[in-house]
Amino acid sequence: GIGTDILFHEYKRGKVAAGDAAAILSRMLDYGQRAAEPLLQSRNTRPGQASQQSSGVCISLHGASVKNQLLFSMTVTVTKPEAWDVDGKQSSGETVRTLRKIRVKKRSFNPWMRKYNGIIHVQWEGQQMQLVVGLNNGEEQ
């Protein structure tokens, strides 16, 4: 399966509706899962194998409030970049496992970006993808 790390520190939702926050987090996780999908499929060569071994992918989801901003950050990291054979042993001569470089459609976040005057930032760096959503959690505009 996928390793997870979820942390909400000094989190105050403010004027952001709970349903909107949940929808944004769900959409972010969907993008993270799509980026990690090839790695998950390459590990599932036999039925039941996913439960026996970790996929080598970690999705971190963090939320925080800074001044009048509500920030959500999702990071997808390949924790085991080496190629592995079906027995869980390191293979030689195999290619390094990487995330699929997906296109994050910022339009899919438009309802909340307009409602809360938000921003989206996507960054790819080696074996890592980071998606940050910032929303104004003060007065709605």
The phi-psi region of residue 137 (left if phi > 0; otherwise alpha if psi is between -120 and 50; otherwise beta) is alpha
Q: Judge whether 72 and 133 are in contact, CB under 8 Å.
A: yes
CB atoms under 10 Å from CB of 84, counted, come to 17
In the structure, what pLDDT confidence band is assigned to residue 55 with cuts at 50, 70 and 90?
Answer: low
The CATH number of 3-136 is which of 3.30.565.10, 3.40.50.880, 2.40.170.20, 1.20.1530.20? Answer: 3.30.565.10
Tell me the C-alpha distance between 129 and 141, whole Å. Answer: 31
The per-residue pLDDT for 96 is 56
* pLDDT at residue 63 is higher than 90: no
More confident residue, 125 or 49: 125
pLDDT in tens, 65-88: 888 889 999 999 887 655 544 444
